[in-house]
Structure 1
Amino acid sequence: MTQARIIQPVIDLLRHPDGPRDRQLLFGDTVTVLDDQNGWSKISASKDGYTGWVATDHLGPIEPQTHWIVAASTHAYEKPDIKSRDLTSLSFGSKIRALSEEGGFLETPIGFIPGVHAVPAYSLLTDPVTAAELFLGTPYLWGGNSRFGLDCSGLVQLALLACGVPCPGDSGDQEREVGGSVPEGDPARRGDLLFWKGHVAWVAAENLLLHANAYHMAVALEPMDQAIARIAAQGDGPVTAHKRL
């Protein structure tokens, strides 16, 4: 087994070679390579242990990462100049290696990235809901883990990992492993998580949820009582857990 890192902005983690997407990985994510077959690599993601298949040419050698992207998304430019050509785009959570700093930009092997969009690799955020709120309006994408598309568990995971809280990739595992159960009758408060079978949402405020959902096809705010009634009416059942970090 060898270590590697993702060298594309966003890649799909597939159930089998050339198969359906289960989750996504971001630029700079580290992985353990478990197997190689005909241009495909079976990997285990360092951030959550999720396993799947990726194209082998999307992997590169491990290298020190000095910063991570803290803006919802950013661009890497050809020069330290906002009017220069943009070379690629990166999502929140991507990890980069800064070679130098010039004119408010971080020089990296993939281009110049605005310094205000990155923080040192050791830095953590303090409020996962504030992190999740960055993604309001992001389109819904089953298995999505980036600014370019998110599902419910992807929104929860990226916000918790940004705050240094371990978090698996799927909502069922999140329900079992994240936080503690809130006593029945205890009112929901900001930062709590509500779970349904196959769905999870942040509590953003009293009677207000923040979640990536297929009804809005986006990350959206929705009154809690309205969401609970709607989800039950569409046949997906009641809330199965109320968890608190």
Structure 2
Amino acid sequence: MDPRLTPATDRVALAGAGIARPTLTEGTAMRVAVPLVDLDREPNGRRDRQLVFGADVTVIERRHDRAFVQAAADGYCGWIGMAALTAERPAITHRVAAPATHIYPKATMKERESASLTLGARLAVAGIAGGFAELVTGGFVPVQHLTDTPADDPAAVALSLVGTPYLWGGNSRGGIDCSGLAQAALWAAGIACPGDSDLQRAAFPEVEDIRRGDLLFWPGHVAMALDAGRMVHATASAMAVIVEDIAAAIARIDAAGDGPFLGARRPPAGGAAQGAPSLDGRVAFP
């Protein structure tokens, strides 16, 4: 079993998952209530991924101040701090569509911000007035940075993150890795997408011709095509999200000993073509 997608610790497993453990649990539905939290392989261990504000999880086991969870959106499992979670789960109405935004204590940009949110953060909006969305959980966010419909062009979303610093396991404007960029772009269009590049390669059909929005793969790396000749990716070679010529990238990566190029895969259409698609088979956009 792939530990990244296995809803079980050495002691407790999620009931119905078909995993034998001393204890089975139905789990506890909770939600991320902080701007960003690391999802670690072990309690206080190495970061595998990150979860953004509003992400829903199932808590499977608690150990002191840590919780082993499974993310609802992609099934990824790991440990996070219990302090990052809340049992309050008001209906999600909007997502952050800008690379980043702020929560303000009052509906004015002149107030000191109380928190910063990243692309994809999920929000419950109580009402909109004066250019600000009032959150059920408290605070105000500029409406210009929010959406309640999926994006039509995942590649444009990926381009909006150009210049973001590279961060292993990162999923935010503050730092992102190759698979995090691909996932964020596809999720913004309402397209289900796993969290790591090997899982992403297995999720979509292979194609010969490269089109905008296709995913391009190398061992341990993924990029998104902008057209037949260019791509955008988060790369450790530049330690940032950059646009690069595909042929030049293939040659550079081969020269570094990190090849070969494994070809292109095509996610399904998103945005208006999907209507109101589901990200995880259970929760419709947003």
TM-score in terms of structure 2 length: 0.81
Question: 2:206 aligns to what?
Answer: 181
Query: Is structure 2 residue 246 aligned with structure 1 residue 224?
Result: yes
Counterparts of 1:200-219 in structure 2, within 5 Å, are 200-219=222-241
**1:115 pairs with 2:143:** yes
- Which residue of the partner structure matches residue 212 of structure 2? 190
Q: Are residue 138 (structure 1) and residue 164 (structure 2) matched?
A: yes
Residue 243 of structure 1, aligned match among 265, 278, 284: 265
Q: Which amino acid aligns with 1:118?
A: L
Paired with 2:150 and 2:68, the residues of 1 have a C-alpha distance of: 30
Whole-Å separation in 2 of the counterparts to 1:192 and 1:78? 40
8 Å CA contact 1:87, 1:110 repeated in 2 = no
List per-residue Cα deviations over 1:163-218 (Å, max 9, x = no partner). Answer: 1211100000101112x1113xx3x2211111000000111123111000001110
The aligned counterpart of 1:92 is: 119
Equivalent-residue separation in structure 2 for 1:225 and 1:65 (angstroms): 42
**Cα drift, residue 99 of structure 1:** 2.0
Which of 54, 60, 78 is residue 28 of structure 1 equivalent to? Answer: 54
1:6-65 deviation digits (Å, cap 9, x = unpaired): 011010000010100000000000001110111110000000000000001111012222
Whether contact under 8 Å (1:79, 1:85) holds in the other structure is no
Match of 2:23 in 1: none
Pick which of 69-78 and 95-104 moved more.
95-104
**Aligned residues of 1:154 and 1:169 also touching (Cα < 8 A):** yes
Kept in 2, the 8 Å contact 1:24–1:144? The answer is: yes
Superposed CA offset, 1:124-176 (max 9, x none): 11111011111010000000111111100000001111112111000001011
CA contact (8 A) 1:175 1:241 kept: no
TM-score, length-scaled by structure 1: 0.95
For the residues of structure 2 that align with 1:192 and 1:33, how far apart are their CA atoms? 34
Q: Which amino acid aligns with 2:118?
A: S
Q: Does 1:51 pair with 2:77?
A: yes
List gaps (5 residues or longer) in structure 1.
none
What is the total number of aligned residue pairs between the two structures? 239
Identify unmatched segments of 5+ residues in structure 2: 1-26, 268-286
Distance 1:157 1:47 in 2: 11
CA RMSD of aligned residues (A): 1.0
Q: Which amino acid aligns with 1:128?
A: P
Question: What is the CA deviation profile of residues 81-101 of structure 1, one whole-angstrom value per residue up to 9, with x for unaligned ones?
Answer: 111111110001001122222
Residue 103 of structure 1 corresponds to 130
Give the C-alpha shift of residue 116 in structure 1. Answer: 1.2
User: Is the contact between residue 106 and residue 112 of structure 1 (CA under 8 Å) also seen in structure 2?
Assistant: yes
Matched position secondary structure for 2:144: helix
Corresponding residue of 2:177: 151
Q: Distance in 2 between matches of 1:171 and 1:14?
A: 17
